[in-house]
Structure 1
Amino acid sequence: MASKGKVRGISGQYPLVQNVTVTEGRTANLTCRVEFNDNTSLQWSNPAQQTLFFGDKKALRDNRIELVRASWSELTISISDVTLSDEGMYTCSLFTMPVRTAKAYLTVLGVPEKPEIDGLTKPALEGDHITLTCITQGSKPAADLRWFRNEKEVKGAKEVNASGKTFTVRSSLQLHVDRNDDGVAYTCRVDHVALTQAPQQATEVLEVHYAPRVEIIHSLAVPQEGQYLKLECVSKGNPSPDPVMWTKDGGELPDLDRMIVEGRELTFTSLNKTDNGTYRCEASNHLGTSSAEYVLYVYDAPTTLPPSTIPPLHPIPPDPTALLGTHVSDPTDTGSRDPNALGQRSTDHALIGGVVAVVVFVTLCLIIVLGRYLARHKGTYLTNEAKGADDAPDADTAIINAEGNHAHAEEKKEYFI
């Protein structure tokens, strides 16, 4: 790639040239023009003042240098596979009296090499401090290095050193490694004017080993008798802590027919009260051991009885409106769904029921008192007929006998209540 700079020289019998910038390894074209020429020859010379072309005649034996165009008004040559040593001041001469010249500077860009990342330990351990260093050489001018953590740019420390006409650039990145760095891609990217296509870059993916961490996930919020329950032991660690170990109350699982262990999962096919206890999941790798606990309490299964067999929580007094012959409204009626109407009716029923209960209680008390009074004053009522009836064949004789019986005069008296 070549770019044009400021035009040098003046019009007329003066040669006109332009500065040229080219990337190392590519081709540079040097052009010299004049507006008016009386058949005077043009000449190109290199920075060492060696003649390259005089008119259309090649003067220097260099297979990289070729003639592009030669005429009375223009002399253009090309230098292929340009190197950094080709950089410098080139001179175009017009051989008039006196000789007139114009100078063009050829700038050669040094292409930076693909960067390399050093300092990475595989695998790294959680808690380690490591330094990643990115190096690129051969850039001219000095390249710029940028760091990215999963495509998000992070700041590094850059150092530039000259090496002849090119530069060596280093950039370092300090890391305190934790488990969040596991699997993270760190990329060092080279930005440079000579890189017209995709930038040069290098990427390293960190592998971090760390001790496991464990948690238990359960499938039921309120486990009840007869239900299916699954406990999953979620363990995160590197290397992976597989398999995991399940225990109950510090010992082995008691009922392997209903408690099924598959990988990291513990499944209860049908819960009952004997399953109550503390279940522990433990996972290990070479860096450590972690565990989590789940306290299982199995609740009673919900029961639903027929409406006629459900005992009321509180006694409900009889509905006095039924005794009074009042029509009971249909519970499906819209008014019966009104919570205010229900509350008012419940209050009235309670009041009437209370009054009825008091009346019944007072009546029972009166009956008991009257009974006790009658029992206390009970006597014997004997008539005259009864007194003489023991030996008399008929009623008249009984009366005569009764009247003649003076020995039992006291017994002839009648008692009335």
Structure 2
Amino acid sequence: ALFHLMCDWNIVIQFNSCYDATGYGPIFEEEPLDIVYTKESPDRHISMNCRARANPAPTYRWRRDNWEIKLMELPNEHYSLVGGNLIINNPEEKKHAGIYVCVAKNMYGTVISKEAKVKFGYLEEFPDEERDPVTVKEGQGAVLLCVPPKRWPAEVTFRWIYNEFPVFLHPDKRRFVSQSTGNLYISKVEASDAGNYSCYVFNPQIGKGVYSKFIPLISTEEKKRYKADLVVKFPDTTAMLNYNVTLECFALGNPAPHIVWRKIGATDLPASAQVSMSGALLHLYNVQYEDSAGYECEAINQKWQDWHQAWLYVEAAPEWAVTINNTQKDIGSEHTMSCVANGKPVPYIRWLKDGYSYGKGELKFSSLTFEDSGMYQCIAENYWGIIYASAELRVIACAPTFELNPVKKYLLGANNGRVVIECKPRAAPRPRFTWTKGKEVLFNNSRISIMFDGSLEILNATRNDEGVYTCLAENDRGKANSTGTLTITEATQITVAPENTQVMVGEEVHLQCQASFDPSLDITFIWSLDFRVINFYLEWKHYERIMDSGELKIMNVQLRHEGRYTCTAQTVVDNVTASADLKVKGLPAPPGGVRVEEIRDTSVKLVWNQGADHGSPILGYTIQTRDFYALTEVDWKDASTSPTPLSGRSVMADVVDLYPWMEYEFRVYATNGFGDGEASIPSMKIKTWDAVPVVAPTNVGGYGGKDGELVITWTPVQPQYFYGKKFGYVVAFKPHDDVDWWYETISDPETRRYVHRDASFRVKSNDFQVREFQVKVKTFNSKGDGPYSLSTTVYYPRDVPSESPTDVYSRPVSSHEALVWWIPVKYWRKYDDTEPGANRIFVPASMNQTRLENMLPDSHYLIEVRAYNGAGVGPPSEHCEMFTKRAPPSVAPQMWRYISYSGKWLYVWWHHIPYDWFGNESFPLYYKVFKGILLCFI
């Protein structure tokens, strides 16, 4: 293909009429998009779309890397044009990769589309060299390097194959695949990790994947504990506004570290944040400028804590704040074209006129000519993108004409009022104006003036001003005139004005309004409240306009109806107004400006502004709080304050007895003689300072398990009692006769059990005593340690229970339920179920009965009871047999007749329920009518 720099000629169009130009310049409806083409593509062509709307229809040309593609003059084996679309057949990278733009043109001007890139995608194969094995001890961390091959586009996904294709490794808390480097990280290697690993790289845009040679991972037996060590650390990152970003963080260590994310300088992560891959990934969706901050990931295990910080910067592609529009201007006039784009970094503004560079910043024309007509494009660009705005500037010249906007033929004016006679012909350039009354030429004086737009203004008009007025407009292209007749009428005046009124909530009030006016005219009364016109159709429940008068009736007055009411008496000639204030007595208005001025750990200083008392002195204020764990939007609670109570003159108070490290918002409402007023708008959310925890875990207990396990359990502390960040538990335990305690730190605040394994705890054959352990649990946070719970004794059993429960008794309750006495229970149907498949229920040792549910009706059940402890389940009791009842009737009785003779008694007839001859349902014993409902009892 042959290319050359595009040279064009300018076409100057003169618009000598103000109304005859019906055409318009090109406006893009479809523009080309970026394309990634691969050799493996089944389509052996590239299609780039371009379509513009214009009158007359536009012609199209294309440019590649600022060189025009010759489509018309020379035949080309690769390029063809279909409408405005460019087709590239059998594309080749060296010939066809580049930046393309579409050019649309007609007689009114030329526009250029946004740029579209054509790139050729590829994904090379991994090298054929064998990968070296990786040898690591169990419990240590391991890193398998992917070393991905060259590719385009760079955005690919990484996965790892384990031993054979297509068995893919599933990441979890121990194993992580970085989507930045492709490396596989194993925080602590276990024996099951040994095997062969292959890095798989997939490019979704070209639909191709490749995998590396297998890397053997060899583990050797050693299970030491290692401190947490962050090996994947996200760098300083820049993200685009309203897009998603993912931050990676992963640590090696034994035990496998727990990863916690924080936003520096904030109490919580952004609302759009989501943590996945067992904490290794932090996803921020639809990022905003306020998400720009430092972020920290912390890896924690029982040996060490490691952390990393980096910054997230949020920037934005250009977005129009002020753009350009099609404009028609008079020849010789001044004109300014400007566009403003928001973005970060600040976008650079440049201009095109008919496809060619035409300056930057703001375009100013001091005296427009026909050569200035054309299609203008404003382009804003920064690192993140580029946007285009197009508009046509049309310069016109024409003689004055009143064809579409003549002077009104008949004009009315009010006596002693102001009269304006409009004169707005279409003309270019702007014409000179002359006014006459009859044959008298008018000049500016104290009462009469010719305005800039050609209109004639008459002040303090009288009957002497009546007559025929003519406006004459003239410029260098010609002249024209238009005539109208002025008549002066009597002025409108308010004769009965509304008066200031005070009313109670719920009452009715009438506001009077009457006016005198010229009898030849019609009058309309318009009412407004605080300059807002009252809509009587929408607000008919409260407002009514009395027919044949201007009187306003307000029914069931509410506080919102208070304000200034204005009556406007209006005719086609003039209007007059009169106003009055309506005061409404009732509940006090909500306080304003509620804000927190001082924050402490368990209290804050709250300040507000007093609201209107609505005719009754304010007796006091009530402060309400809503914390982070409020269940609903209306879950507000009265707060404790100092002083108490709050007087009607209070504008500040201390809110006390708050939880430390808790997010709160506050609101205030006032009380007067009519009751409690509406609550204020809630304050901004604040968080109280952190403090040392004071609440210990409850229900501390535990049991001895198998193989030397000591299980310690507790009820976790509720989140509102965390009192600070980095909340966790310290578990302390020791054999009953020992002096020294053993301690374990638990960093997860939701943990409710800890299992300690020690081979020395195992019961030996010659050990005939039950071992006792003392256990207790306390809380801690970043401010310090809280109190321990009460010490509890936990018993380590020698063996499972040796005796079975006795005197097991059961009683059917219904067709689906039964009561049974004693503890843990399993039950099954005697002939239909097998004992291994029996249903089981566990109940606490303190109970000696339970309820069995979801049983089948009319069934024979066997029930047994066993005792259990941490070592297992003891022998069964004797079987207890029981039959459940038959199912109740499945159909309801049907009433077929009822009669009421006196209005006090009702006689009812119904059909009996049919007898179930198959015996699946119980037969009714009697029927009963209860509160109008017919029931049957079995």
Query: Which one has the bigger helix percentage?
Result: 1
The answer to which structure, 1 or 2, has the higher relative contact order (CA under 8 A, 6+ apart) is 1
Q: What TM-score range do you get, normalising by the shorter chain?
A: 0.3 to 0.5
TM-score by length of 2: 0.19
TM-score by length of 1: 0.37
Which of 1 and 2 has greater Rg?
1
